[in-house]
Amino acid sequence: MTVTGLLMALGVLVKYPSTDLVTNLRQFALLQSYSDIPSIYVERGFSLPFTWFGGQDSRYPPIEYPALSAVYMEVCAWVTHLLHGVDATQLAQRQALSVEQIAALPDVAKEARTFFLVSAAGLWAAGMAAMRILLSVVRNKRPLLLLVIASPALILTAFLNWDLLPVLCVTAALAAHHRGRHGWVGAWIGIGTAVKLYPALFIVPAVALAIRDRAWSRAAVLSGTSLGAWFVCNAPSLLLHPQTWLEFWSFNRERPAQYGSLWYAIRILGHGQSLTTINVVSGAVLVVAALAVLVLALRCRRAPSIESLSLLLLTAFLITNKVFSPQYVWWYVPVLVLAIRALPVMVVWSLGQLFHEVETWFFIAGMTTPAVGIDKVYVASVGMRLAVEALALVPALAGLRPHGPGRLPVNKPAAGPPNA
């Protein structure tokens, strides 16, 4: 755990130089120091009075994150105000200023840096908790070894955004599954989905394995607790600030292909697709992958592990999604640690993700873009990312053997992670 803590602390140090709200693309590229966190403090009005569950000043864009992510930001902003002694009078004085004047205040820049540190403290704790949970499921040093192998990519992205929060939820859900605590599996998936959408994917393999075992009550518990937990976490925002709550859904529906995605690379190559086409194809691939998970769960001779099935669905989602932010590499950590024993695959995966993360900022800064023509290095980095993510599926799914036609295989509990 000490190694984990030091690696995570190094991630904070990497981002700290660029928490001053100064946009310096070359610095972002050379130091890999950009983080969304400090800019959100200013750009979403957290330096002004706000009401809980999404009630920001109307002059700022609504928060485009799920409900619990917004609440986490609000808590960090509230702590920031306390630490800087920002009282109601100061907040009221700022409200009389224009948005531009507020952003230019020296005190606001200092608060944004504190907001980053407060947020990072909570994210650091979430990452540490996730690793402790993984170590409790796999009682050897393999999770730590895999973390060290993947550390370059993980260090650079740990504090880019708030993704360590849903990673903790997914890790807790997987651990609960291995312990047979299916109510908690659903609850953690529901909570994680209220932080970031991707944990919802994990309900599919969990329910599929319940169907394999003909455990209908378990399937109902998984579905009911996940939906219930998600609704409870979302209800305050939905009831108090429905327009803010809807922003996440409309933002992602209308979001174009962006950095890191297959679709963005295709557009660079001169074959850009319409937003409708991208949404339809991505959705169709996800549905097919979900059906593949169900078929594998039902037809394999031995019950697949939940992490192997989850890896298949997660990979299909991230390969065809219209956005791939570098911090998404953290989404893979729990499933890779539990599903993969082949260390060479992890080395290749880590190097591919690292190349893509570094090159993304070199591309944004224009440092690898030629005067004429396309940035082939960046396109290659996207291709490398897609390739190593597909490669990670091979050892995870290699042991799965479909059952022949006829009667379904005998019920067996889902295989747990190896302990040796």
pLDDT given at position 343: 82
| Contact by Cβ (8 Å): 121, 322 | no
pLDDT given at position 5: 87
Residue 252: both structure tokens together: 């992602």
Which pTM does this prediction carry?
A: 0.92
Number of domains in the chain: 1
Q: Which residues pair with residue 300 across a beta bridge?
A: 402
Other beta carbons less than 10 A from residue 27's beta carbon: 16
Give the DSSP letter string of 94-129: HHTS-HHHHHH-HHHHHHHHHHHHHHHHHHHHHHHH
What is the spatial distance between Cα 329 and Cα 311, in angstroms, rounded to a whole number? Answer: 12
What is the percent of the chain with per-residue pLDDT over 90, rounded to a whole number? 80
- Is 138 within a domain? yes
- Is 362 within a domain? yes
- Is 221 within a domain? yes
pLDDT level of residue 2 (50, 70, 90 thresholds)? confident
- Is 415 within a domain? no
pLDDT level of residue 144 (50, 70, 90 thresholds)? low
Which residue do the tokens 């939906």 mark?
227
pLDDT level of residue 183 (50, 70, 90 thresholds)? very high
- Is 202 within a domain? yes
Domain span holding position 27: 2-397
Q: What is the mean pLDDT of residues 151-155?
A: 87
Element at 361 (helix H, strand E)? helix 343-364
What is the spatial distance between Cα 25 and Cα 34, in angstroms, rounded to a whole number? Answer: 9
Q: What is the mean pLDDT of residues 230-234?
A: 98
Residue 88: both structure tokens together: 């109601």
What is the spatial distance between Cα 415 and Cα 405, in angstroms, rounded to a whole number? Answer: 23
What is the spatial distance between Cα 301 and Cα 311, in angstroms, rounded to a whole number? Answer: 19
- Is 420 within a domain? no
Q: Which residues pair with residue 55 across a beta bridge?
A: 51
Q: Which residues pair with residue 402 across a beta bridge?
A: 300
- Residue 242 burial by Cβ neighbours in a 10 Å radius (0-12, 13-18, 19+): exposed
Phi, psi values for residue 55, rounded to 5°: -100, 70
- Is 298 within a domain? yes
- Is 352 within a domain? yes
- Tens of pLDDT, residues 381-409: 999 999 999 999 998 888 676 655 444 44
End-to-end CA distance of the chain: 19
What is the percent of the chain with per-residue pLDDT over 70, rounded to a whole number? 93
Average pLDDT, the chain: 91
Check pLDDT > 50 for residue 418: no
Check pLDDT > 80 for residue 140: no
**43-to-11, 21, 61, 240 alpha-carbon distances in Å:** 23, 10, 8, 22
